[in-house]
Chains A and B, each alone.
Chain A
Amino acid sequence: SYELTQPPSVSVSPGQTARITCSGDALPKKYASWYQQKSGQAPLLVIYEDNRRPSGIPERFSGSSSGPMATLTITGAQVEDEADYYCYSPDSSDHLWVFGGGTKLTV
């Protein structure tokens, strides 16, 4: 089965830049999306197709991808950004979609 690997935790001070990585064998050819999940809430899509931001998502959220790694960057992280973040992408067959294990961001 296919796996996406994320670091369990990332910690930054308010105003600093937070970077969360996601690695997977199919990422060189497949887009990654990113979700934010705050405690007790449903997930929220913050980035799709590697670097596109849905309407209403602050500009401090950005995404990039290079080779087998996708990265979510929060420039000037705020206390309200503290949450679990998950990457999401299909395997090479496009018949199986997978979430990464999640990264707890502490601000």
Chain B
Amino acid sequence: EVQLVESGGVVVPPGGSLRLSCAASGFTFRSYTMHWVRQAPGKGLEWVSLISWDGGSIYYGDSVKGRFTVSRDNSRNSLYLEMKSLRTEDTAFYYCAKGREGITGTIPDHWGQGTLVTVSS
């Protein structure tokens, strides 16, 4: 069974930094594209970033480009999101998601339960 467990969400002041982690199990992590998606409380989904199986392809949403950095450690079955220059509008639940197999890896098909990041003074 695919399991994705996010961690690292806390309250952080505007301008601060934070690193989220996602521990994966139940599938061959090193073979799949992975995503970060966020959802502000009571709002819709927003795609944040994806990283290919080997880290060779990385893309970001416009609102986080230049501030967030995605990475992965295939030896630890872990996905990370480094967040800098945080803004109040970055407050959201952050979901880690596994991509479908092969060329459909750009489509998330299994999601974690999310970790809440609150940017507030």
Contact = CB atoms under 8 A, between A and B. Distances in A.
B107 A88 contact: yes
Contact of A42 (B104, B106, B114): B114
A45 B109 contact: yes
Interface of A (DSSP majority class): strand
B45 A97 contact: no
Most buried by A among B62, B111, B113: B111
A100 B104 CA distance: 19
Interface string A65-107: 0000000000000000000101010100011111111100000
Contact of B61 (A94, A96, A100): A96
Given A33-B107, A42-B112, A102 B44 contact: yes
Contacts of A97: 47, 50, 59, 61, 106
A86 B45 contact: yes
A31 B47 CA distance: 16
Contacts of A35: 45
Given A95-B59, A102-B44, 15 more contacts: A35-B45, A42-B114, A43-B37, A44-B111, A48-B104, A48-B107, A48-B109, A49-B107, A88-B45, A88-B107, A90-B106, A97-B50, A97-B61, A99-B44, A99-B47
